[in-house]
A and B are shown apart, each in its own frame.
Chain A
Amino acid sequence: MTTTQDYRSSIENQWCPGCPNYGILTALERALVALGRAPHEVCLVSGIGQAAKLPHYLRCHAWNGLHGRAIPAAIGIHVANPALTTIVTSGDGDLYGEGGNHLLHAFRRNPDITVIVHDNRIYALTKGQASPTTPRGEPTRLQFDGVEIDPAQMLATAVVHGCTFVARGFAGDLEGLSTLLARAIAHRGLSFVDVIQPCITWGKHPLAWYRERVVPVPTDHDATDRNAALSLALDSPDRFPVGVLYETAEKPVFAESYRVRVGDGPLARLPRIGRAAIQARLAAFVVNKD
């Protein structure tokens, strides 16, 4: 049986002591153990940033690629080897800024992967510039007089674009987060989880500030109702409903039709097309004599 011990990495963690990123790391580890996934069945995919270092701190397969490009790489990985539980874990700058376009189209594609956004509302690794989720008016190490543009509304965007699992998590609630992540990973299709992860070094508000404003998604919320999900996603800027906002199974999963044709298993193991079949296609270019 898989235990959290199996996931323990010996790599030195570079995060600040006390950073809520540790909460996400632990919650993810617990979720994977709860689902009974062994390390070699899991592939973590990240871009660049503080959050994006997470894959080094968990023993499983990992791709730590370029800033902003985790999503397309994860899609490629998942198509080529669908047996892997593929999970993107990266920052808000990485996934909403540099890679925002990829996320938008991932919502449309619905690949069977999980996307966990460490949303600290800041570019932490580059020392405190605004991220796409930094609230308007908030001063940063670059926007000295306060951010002058509106924050991105990615949860709402996810709902609008047909993402099949949309949730908000809180890094300060280990129990709740590990349960939520387990649900996200188990969901078939794209699971998108924006996790509030206050940066205790560059962020404006401490964890406690968020703790006061985090509320559970109302028990009577119908997660299959897009309009209800949308209004939760767009709630007030100072109140954060946490939990599953939207979930549906009514959408084909990316690459499904291809898999129906070629069968399951890693593409590396499927037989390649025969020589004769290619030669026949080449021969078709010969213009026959009259």
Chain B
Amino acid sequence: MDEQSVFIAGAAGEGIQTIGDVVARAFLAHGYPVFAVQEYESRIRGGNSTHRLRIASAPANAPRRDADVLLALNPEARNHYAVDLRAGGTLVASEAVDEQTIVVPFHDLAVEHGGSGLYANAVAAGALAAVLGLPIEIVVRTLAAAVARHGDAAVAGNTSAAKAGFEVARATLGGRAPKPLPKRENVYAFLSAHDVIPLAAAAAGCRFMSAYPMSPSTGILTAFARDPELGVFVEQAEDEIAAIEMALGASAAGARAMTATSGGGFALMVESISLAGMIETPIVVVLGQRPGPATGLPTRTAQEDLLFAIHAGHGETARLVFAPADPQDAIEKTVRAFDLADRYQIPAIVLSDQFLADSRFSLPALSLPSEIPDAHLADPNTIDGEYRRYALTEDGVSPRLYLGQAEALVYLDSDEHTEEGHITEDVRVVRPSMVEKRLEKGRRLRGEVAPPSRNRDEDAETILLGWGSTKGAIDEAVARLRGKGRRVGALHFTELWPLPEIAWRDDVDYWTIEGNATGQLARLLASDGGLRIEGRIGRYDGLPLDAATIVEALA
């Protein structure tokens, strides 16, 4: 099939989520992968929002900025998104704009055929099936499964409404109606990165989650609460400071622990990030980025907190910063974050963003890492004499006992401390050796982090450098530019701190591609990686980076 970019536009609460969901699932059930992004305002009712589906023969897990099909549930949404409909694209709406409009009176058809205006969403889904060549039976079955819990009447109403939408749209399309798409055997998992983070965390042994609700990370907290069998203790804290402090306390008492927030909440956690470094207590923090400063655009996306995550916290201490590229990567990074945070007794920050939280990818398979290491705790039987929580060792990592693990007493101290964990002002010997101890862990950690992934960089003259959630868009841009004969490749970072060691070439132009205005990766690579950047592309309007924007910028 030809790829289809479908924008379902409407007001918050009008049903674009349901319509997109049904159409996406119907395509997936028919064997076609779908990439779904939600773009919405920070409100419960009204405004303009879209559910954007990208349907293709092979997974195309990156956003498109233009639509082949625009289905508008109301005139305001139609006007607002008309500019995004590509020339020659199809508009589906309740009323005609020109002769080309596929007019489908969503509400009236719902009343007429389903018996209630409530079924307008089913009419819209049926109409989209006609426009996209999806057999109506499959939409009907998907709808029926979705509404089965509301009873037979709901199933019947939805079915009639969907069929009516389908018939009306098909009649209007006439000769333009596409041939029905053949069924394919392909099967995909359809999910977001934030769907898997709680599962990966539980698999990694997470036992304690405390957080304060904040978009786009609230779903992670909710997922733990909804699935008690994961065995994770869940608490909605009074603020983000309490959230991270509770998690740190639990961690010090032996539970693998995490929290999740966005930039504003992370800002409140900063003192405790520093504390985690000082008391050498593992913690995993998911930082779901959204555009700032301050409250910014609460429901939109950005990559503005890279340098913040790397530098957050007073004083100097080791930490880990990861930025997964997609749901499968989010599984791996989450498990690794728990393991390395524990092994090195440090904070680990997993940077995601609204795009990763709210976009659903189609992936052929999902897997857990083949090995998930156990907790890294000391054996109390090997400790003789007084236990030294901060014993100086070659790699800076002291054997760790948790509070109450054994008779050996554990002292954790946010003051500069002795090896035993007691306050000290010994600035001659103890202080320098403790600073060195904590930093040595960071040096060792540098040997753990993965280098950036490579995409056709061998013969490239231009190399695009990206990080985190933009991988799909950048890879697509590389493919398109190669198609135009440009020797372009990419290096993509998902483990950003400590910065992996890279041998930069002097025969290529390096460009950074990021979801921010100031080029944070560019600055990081220039200051800590010694790299000269040829140019940088930033998107900072709150929408995710897409291939067309990158290709255009490089033209």
Q: A residues touching B (Cβ–Cβ < 8 Å)?
A: 11, 14, 38-41, 43, 45, 48, 53, 55-56, 59-66, 69, 71-81, 83-84, 101-102, 104-105, 255, 258, 261-262, 266-270, 272-273, 275, 277-279, 281-283, 285-290
Interface assignment of B208: CB less than 8 Å from any CB of chain A:
yes
Give chain B residues whose Cβ lies under 8 Å from the Cβ of A270.
207, 231
Are A267 and B233 CB-contacts (below 8 A) given A278-B199, A282-B366? yes
A283 surroundings in chain B (CB, below 8 A): 189, 366
Would B208 and A76 count as touching, CB distance under 8 A? yes
From B195, B202, B247, B407, A40 is in contact (CB under 8 Å) with: B407
A282 touches B368 (CB 8 A): yes
**B138, B200, B252, B257 pick with most chain A CB within 10 angstroms:** B252
Residue of A with least CB distance to B360: A285
Q: Which of A61, A72, A287 contacts B404 (CB 8 A)?
A: A61
Chain B min CB distance to A13 (Å): 11
Q: Is the CB of A289 within 8 A of B403?
A: no
| CB neighbours of A288 from chain B (8 A) | 29, 187
Main secondary structure of the interface of B (DSSP, over half): mixed
Partner of B199, one of A14, A60, A69, A281: A281
- With beta carbons under 8 angstroms apart, the residue of A79, A84, A101, A285 that contacts B238 is A101
Cβ-defined contact, A268 with B272, below 8 A: no
Q: B250: which A residues are within 8 A, CB to CB?
A: 76-77, 79-80, 267
A66 engages B404 (CB within 8 Å): no
Q: A81-B402, A267-B233, A273-B203 are in contact. Are A75 and B190 (CB under 8 A)?
A: no
User: In the complex, what distance in Å separates the CA atom of A289 from the CA atom of B185?
Assistant: 7
Task: Please indicate the chain B residues that have their CB under 8 angstroms from the CB of A40 in the complex.
Answer: 404, 406-409
B231 and A268 form a contact (CB under 8 A):
no
Contacts of B141 in A (CB 8 A): 290
Q: A69-B245, A285-B189, A287-B28 are in contact. Are A266 and B405 (CB under 8 A)?
A: yes
Contacting residues, chain A, for B252 (C-beta < 8 A): 63, 73, 76-77, 80
Minimum CB–CB distance from A162 to chain B (whole Å) comes to 15
A136 → chain B closest CB, angstroms: 28
Min CB–CB distance B335 → chain A (angstroms):
10
A262-B189 contact, Cβ under 8 Å, with A76-B248, A80-B208? no
Docked complex: B217-261 residues within 8 A CB-CB of A = 227-231, 233, 235, 237-239, 241-243, 245-255, 257
Is B196 interfacial (CB 8 A cutoff)? yes
How many A-B contacts if CB must be within 8 Å?
224
30 A-B pairs whose Cβ atoms sit less than 8 Å apart in the complex: A11-B422, A45-B249, A61-B409, A62-B410, A63-B252, A64-B415, A66-B275, A69-B241, A72-B242, A72-B243, A73-B249, A76-B250, A76-B251, A77-B252, A80-B252, A80-B402, A266-B254, A267-B207, A268-B255, A269-B254, A270-B231, A273-B203, A273-B230, A275-B368, A282-B366, A286-B190, A287-B25, A287-B190, A289-B187, A290-B141
- Complex Cα gap A60–B412 (Å): 11
Which residues of chain B in 115-137 are interfacial with respect to chain A, using CB atoms and an 8 Å cutoff?
none
Assess whether B525 is interfacial by the CB under 8 Å rule. no
| Chain A residues closer than 8 Å to B203, beta-carbon distance | 272-273, 275, 278
Instruction: Specify which of B247, B254, B366, B411 is in contact with A62 (CB 8 Å cutoff).
Output: B411
8 Å CB contact of B402 from A262, A268, A275:
A268
Q: B30: which A residues are within 8 A, CB to CB?
A: 290
Report yes or no: A105 in contact with B238, Cβ–Cβ below 8 A: yes
- Given A62-B412, A268-B375, A268-B405, the answer on whether A258 and B249 have CB atoms closer than 8 Å is no
Q: B414 at interface (Cβ–Cβ under 8 A)?
A: yes
In the complex, which residues of chain B have a beta carbon less than 8 angstroms from the beta carbon of A43? 253, 403-404
Nearest chain B CB to A150 CB, angstrom units = 23
Minimal beta-carbon separation of A1 from chain B (angstroms): 15
- Residues of chain A within 8 A (CB-CB) of B257 are 76, 80
Q: Would A76 and B247 count as touching, CB distance under 8 A?
A: yes
Is the CB–CB distance between A255 and B233 below 8 Å?
yes
With A and B bound together, what is the CA distance between A290 and B392 in angstroms?
61
A81 CA / B138 CA spacing, docked (Å): 52
B544 to chain A, nearest CB (A): 21
Contact B411 A80 (CB under 8 A): no
Closest chain-A Cβ to B74's Cβ sits at a distance in Å of 29
Within the complex, what minimum Cβ distance (angstroms) separates A180 from chain B?
25
Q: Which residues of B contact A287 (CB under 8 A)?
A: 25, 28-29, 187-190
Q: Given the complex of chains A and B, what is the CA–CA distance between A282 and B243 in angstroms?
A: 27
**Complex: chain A residue closest to B242, CB-CB:** A72
Decide if B414 touches A80 in the complex (CB within 8 Å): no
Whether A76 contacts B411 in the complex (CB less than 8 A), given A61-B403, A66-B275, A287-B187, comes out as no
Whether the Cβ atoms of B249 and A290 lie closer than 8 Å is: no
Contact of B254 among A11, A80, A105 (CB under 8 A): A80
Decide if B31 is an interface residue (CB 8 Å cutoff).
Answer: yes
Q: Which residues of B contact A101 (CB under 8 A)?
A: 238-239, 242
Q: A11-B422, A275-B203 are in contact. Are A286 and B404 (CB under 8 A)?
A: no
Residues of A within 8 A of B191 (CB): 285
Whether B349 is near chain A, meaning CB under 8 Å from some CB there, is no
CA A75 to CA B245, docked complex, whole Å: 9
**In the complex, chain B residues whose CB is within 8 Å of the CB of A286:** 187-190
Q: How far is the CB of A135 from chain B (nearest CB, A)?
A: 28
Q: Assess A61 versus B245: contact at CB under 8 Å? Given A53-B423, A258-B233, A266-B404.
A: no
Residue of chain A at shortest CB distance from B415: A64
Chain A residue with the shortest CB-CB distance to B243: A72
* Distance of B56 from chain A, by nearest CB (Å): 15
Interface: B286 (CB within 8 A): no
Q: Which chain B residues border A290 with CB–CB below 8 Å?
A: 29-30, 138, 141, 183
Within 8 A of A (CB), among B472-497: none
Set of chain A residues within 8 Å of B242, measured between Cβ atoms: 69, 71-72, 101-102, 105
Inside 8 A of B239's CB, which chain A residues have their CB? Answer: 101
**Could you tell me the distance in whole angstroms from the C-beta of A185 to the nearest C-beta in chain B?**
16
A282 touches B241 (CB 8 A): no
A83 to B254, CA, bound (A): 12
Task: Determine whether the beta carbon of A282 is less than 8 Å from that of B249.
Answer: no
CB-CB under 8 A from B375, the residues of chain A are: 268
What 15 additional pairs, Cβ within 8 angstroms, besides A279-B368, A286-B187?
Answer: A62-B409, A73-B245, A73-B249, A76-B250, A77-B253, A101-B242, A102-B245, A266-B253, A270-B231, A272-B203, A275-B203, A275-B372, A285-B189, A286-B189, A288-B29
CB distance from B410 to the nearest CB of A (A): 5
